[in-house]
Amino acid sequence: MIGLLGRRIAGLAAFLWDFVVGDDWMAAAGIAVVLALGAALAHLARVDSWWLLPAGVAGVFAGSVRRAVRPARAVPPPR
């Protein structure tokens, strides 16, 4: 019974992870970092960092696309 419940919870957690984070967890983490930096600048340093968000999101996006394309470059050419 507990094993079944554990599997169900693990299945739900895996589904939610895939639903929200998808196949690039670094992009999701990058978004969290950008928002946290924006909040820190606005509330701690009193800097209106509106420019940080689009720049940060663009950086996260570029990194995500780059990671999706890059691995294939490591594939050795056929002999």
Among 3, 72, 78, 79, binds other proteins (CB under 8 A): 72
CB–CB of 27/60 below 8 Å?
yes
Please list every residue from 11 through 30 that binds other proteins, using CB under 8 A.
19-24, 27-28
5: its two tokens: 């419940």
Burial (Cβ within 10 Å: 0-12, 13-18, ≥19) of residue 13: exposed
CA distances to 35, 44, 63, 71 from 74, rounded to whole Å, are: 33, 43, 17, 6
Q: Does 73 bind other proteins (CB under 8 A)?
A: yes
Selected from 9, 12, 13, 68, the binder of other proteins by CB under 8 A is 68
Task: State the minimum distance, in angstroms, from the CB of residue 13 to other proteins.
Answer: 15
Positions in the binding site for other proteins (CB under 8 A) = 19-24, 27-28, 31-32, 35, 38-39, 42-43, 48-50, 52-54, 57-58, 60-62, 64-65, 68-69, 72-73, 75, 77
